[in-house]
Amino acid sequence: MARLFGTDGVRGLANADLTPELALSVAAAAARVLAEHDRSHRPVALVGRDPRASGEMLEAAVVAGLSSAGADVLRVGVLPTPAVAFLVAALGADVGVMISASHNAMPDNGIKLFAAGGHKLPDSVEDEIEQKMLTHDGRPTGAAIGRVRDVEDAEVQYVEHLLKITPHRLEGIKVVVDCANGAASIAAPDAYRRAGAEVVEINSTPDGLNINDNCGSTHLDVVRAAVLEHGADLGIAHDGDADRCLAVDAQGNEVDGDQIMAVIAVAMRDAGELTDNTLVATVMSNLGLHIAMREQGIALRTTGVGDRYVLEELRAGGFALGGEQSGHVVLPAHATTGDGLLTALRLMARMAETGRSLAELAGVMSRLPQVLINVRVSDKAVVAKDTSVNDAVAEVTAELGDAGRVLLRPSGTEQLVRVMVEATSHEAAESAARRLAGVVSSVH
């Protein structure tokens, strides 16, 4: 049977793949596993969600599942994913549940679990939960049934935490924030205003159906237009659960996750906060980030694709900053997961501290043209071992030299090989990528 938990929890089409029955079963099993791990007290679970319509239904199922297994439940309502992770630690909960499908379209939803302290649940515990779903232990009755209460000041606690760790006030900065009609719709404008910025908020009126609908970090044209219309210094675009953000400068140019990490890494180095002068990123980060960090005397460690690998490297090495090109940035001293609001506040604080525009700061890094081609294959494992493919990669790599890069990566879920090439010009990158894609597609 296929593993229920994916790279970011359980996700699927709400009420079809992800049903209330499944949500209840996952939650009850999680509570039972927690109780078996520590019998010294009754488990406490914290539950939050994004504003998509199905979240109301799934929240009810998750709360019922947790309490039916004997866990007390703290319900925090609509909040960003990083707020849920923070509150798990701040309120001493044993587990956190975030009901969200992040940047996915409204019909989808998901269940993401956090361990005590707000950290991502280990694979081994997820496996235990899956096994526990197959058993039918007796349920508690009477006073042993879990109780449910709402945390009325959850958003306030989270925003106050962000304000305490923002290194510089934001007076003089005008920002457009696109909340994607998602979980950040209250917290993000509130945090930025209280930090001192002048805020123009857009797509901050969620109705359960409009989350990520032609807005947010997957549709930057919207925030770009608003920045130009309002003469703002920058725009910040969140995704549906606000665990990441992308930006645009005053001229409407995109500032991606690599550039955001470069700006924050230099700021943290200058403040003596960048452990071992090291940044952690994935293999998909642009070669321009490697070049920029080398020029700034900052080491760049790379991991496989996915926030879990970045988090593992950060924790293993005790490093202070890591993230992905998508805008998922982690600062372990202040957050246990990617936090789009924290990232945006750090970016704006650097602007306020230096008096420099976002375009100037982002100019520390030049993005090399990057071309990505997805090649459908019959067996990606065969492609990985094919001599002609390996020879072609070596040949193109030699031709590009230090001014380019080649990366072939099998899809984790489909029979696809992703061919990525970076070069000094788009034409050179596209030519090399198409050449390699042709070799890959010829393998049988």
Q: Which residues are catalytic?
A: 102
Q: How far is CA 91 from CA 45, 75, 94, in A?
A: 10, 12, 9
Which tokens go with 383? 């492609």
SS3 199: strand
Angle formed by the axes of helices 287-295 and 257-270, to 10°? Answer: 10
Q: Which candidate, 251, 254, 245, places its Cα nearest to that of 227?
A: 251
Which tokens go with 313? 């490297």
| Residue 404 C-beta-side C-alpha neighbours within 13 Å | 27
Distance CA 375, CA 379 (A): 11
- Contact, 173 vs 353, CB < 8 A? no
- Contact, 281 vs 326, CB < 8 A? no
Q: Which candidate, 92, 74, 73, 67, places its Cα nearest to that of 143?
A: 67
Which tokens go with 126? 């997820």
